[in-house]
Structure 1
Amino acid sequence: MSTIRLALAQQAAPDDPSRRLPLLRRWCEDAAADGAHLLLLPEMWSTGYAPQRMNTDHAWDDDELVLAEIPRLAAGLGLAIGFTYLARVDGALRNRLRLYGADGAIALQYDKVHICDFTDGTETALQGGDGFVCADVALGGETVRVGAMICFDREFPEAGRALMRQGAELVLVPNACPMRDDAELGDVRLQQLRGRALENRFAVALCNYPAPQYDGASCLIDARGRLLAAADAQASLLPAELDLAALRRWRAEQDEVWGLAALRPSCCR
């Protein structure tokens, strides 16, 4: 099987913490029943990307409960699950994506490198990660080279290029910001992400929050920058399919144009 089936959970985080696990279980079960190999949630879904929770005084008990359940769900359903949360590293907090494989083991772990400092100083209490990482992940009978960018990371071309140099085939992007409904920017962020995919020859799966928190636009983009699946602004569990064999054929055909052999980093300073 060369088709990788994804489920993008464009869903809001409930205010009541007791509702989080039941909802997550339901979405995982629905995704698995639909044949998905991987489910991705928006950035820091369990907290709803809430600024008031980004401080070192919080015990993070709710996140720990969810984290304890996810490997059981993954192994029980044979479903890889990508979940972003606040992690402690040497006393500091980091914005972390953890991808559990279909066997329940940690397949990929990545800490957000580029920390935002917008008008509300949302992430200034957090520590940036140490670098971009890729891992070989079993999905639907295939071994896929998976990397990650978290939200603001995708604004920087170097993030995509770092993953490209590590051989990324599929990049996961948990997100928490407007993607296309901006009075000044329009859909430029979505187009920007399509450019990231094309220039680095990898597919991108982005999962954002629905309206009214943000504006949805969760999507799967192939390595040619084409939208394979896209959500509107409403809450949904978006199915998306990636033809891995086609991606690999195209990458091989384009190696001389887009591949590592064409890079001349000494000229880009």
Structure 2
Amino acid sequence: MGRSFCLAVGQSPAELSTPQDRLDWLANALPAVVAEGTDLLVLPELFAIGYNIGDQVVARSEPVDGPTARAIATLAKAHGVAIHYGFAEADGDAIFNAAQCFGPDGTRLGGHRKLAIPPGFERAHFTPGQGCTLFTYRDVRIATLICYDAEFPETARYVASLGAELILAPTALGAQWEWVAQRMIPTRAYENGVYLAYANSAGVENGMPFLGQSFIATPDGHELVRAGAQPEVIYGTLQLDKVSAAQTRLPYLRDRKALGPDIR
């Protein structure tokens, strides 16, 4: 029997108004998540603080080992499940739109700082990150790309070339961008032969409506599961042998080298 991995995507309510409200929602959701046999729960972009909060981003930013991080690490350990979530990372004078993951023993497994800062309020607050790394959890090689990062074909191709089998993409996708969730981002999984989990918020936050429609896409061009417009947690069992099978069937990662140095 091949390797399998149980993934949950938490499409949390956008209207949760404080960081404590968000921690309370997570704590209440975790018993059901664990009951499904989940290995890892992925949560949306800036889950810990809220997305459409303007200048409050500054006051709610924390270092990677700040109070919210410690609370989530404690929840991960108490429930025996890995938790991957978005937050505003404070590092000196800089603030990053970031995500990190704590394992079921409460240790930090890895993190990512958003590379591409889109037009809008984010550019007034966030410094772009630099580079991508993978972390390994339960023998699965995992990369993170936050929202706009994943809309560039180059980023998904790069982490797949590093050996990623699963891309976690926390997002804060507004209701007007349905094509991105329905067509663009699932294509990133297919064209690289990897699993991709897209975790969005649902509902309205300070006048901003979110699309919802979180999903898990498979390496062979299928949709394992997709959420609707309302808050919910969705689940999927990943069969990791499908990654190598998809990359053998469509060897884009190998054959792109034949395109020549000016293209690849």
- TM-score bucket (shorter structure): 0.7 to 0.9
Counterparts of 2:225 and 2:98 in 1: how far apart (Å)?
Answer: 25
Q: Does 1:254 align with 2:249?
A: yes
Q: 5+ unaligned residues in a row in structure 1: which ranges?
A: none
Does the CA contact (< 8 Å) of 1:54 and 1:125 recur in 2? no
User: What amino acid does structure 2 have at the position aligned with 1:260?
Assistant: R
- After the TM superposition, which parts of structure 1 deviate over 6 Å for at least 4 consecutive aligned residues? none
Which residue number corresponds to residue 6 of structure 1?
7
Deviation at 1:65, TM superposition (A): 3.0
Deviates more, 1:60-69 or 1:27-36: 60-69
Counterparts of 2:114 and 2:225 in 1: how far apart (Å)?
Answer: 25
SS in 2 for 1:122: helix
- The within-5 A match list for 1:51-66 is 51-53=53-55, 56=58, 58=59, 60=61, 64-66=66-68
1:71 alignment partner, one of 58, 73, 86: 73
Counterparts of 1:265 and 1:109 in 2: how far apart (Å)?
Answer: 33
Distance 1:35 1:195, change over 3 A: same
Deviation at 1:34, TM superposition (A): 1.4
Deviation at 1:188, TM superposition (A): 4.2
Q: Deviations over 1:222-254 (max 9, x none)?
A: 112211100011110111221112333333x33
Counterparts of 1:166 and 1:62 in 2: how far apart (Å)?
Answer: 27
User: What amino acid does structure 1 have at the position aligned with 2:252?
Assistant: W
Pairwise CA RMSD of aligned residues? Answer: 2.3
Does the CA contact (< 8 Å) of 1:210 and 1:234 recur in 2? yes
Distance 1:111 1:188, change over 3 A: closer
Does the CA contact (< 8 Å) of 1:51 and 1:122 recur in 2? no
Does the CA contact (< 8 Å) of 2:88 and 2:95 recur in 1? yes
1:91 alignment partner, one of 85, 90, 93: 93
Which residue number corresponds to residue 191 of structure 1?
183
- The within-5 A match list for 1:148-167 is 148-167=144-163
Q: Deviations over 1:32-80 (max 9, x none)?
A: 1111111111111122213424654x26479933211111221222211
Distance 1:173 1:186, change over 3 A: closer
User: What amino acid does structure 2 have at the position aligned with 1:21?
Assistant: L
- Between the two proteins, the alignment pairs up a number of residues equal to 256
Deviation at 1:104, TM superposition (A): 1.5
Distance 1:45 1:62, change over 3 A: farther
Per the normalisation by structure 2, the TM-score is 0.88
Counterparts of 1:80 and 1:229 in 2: how far apart (Å)?
Answer: 20
SS in 2 for 1:241: strand
1:117 alignment partner, one of 116, 119, 127: 119
User: What amino acid does structure 1 have at the position aligned with 2:5?
Assistant: I
Deviation at 1:4, TM superposition (A): 1.2
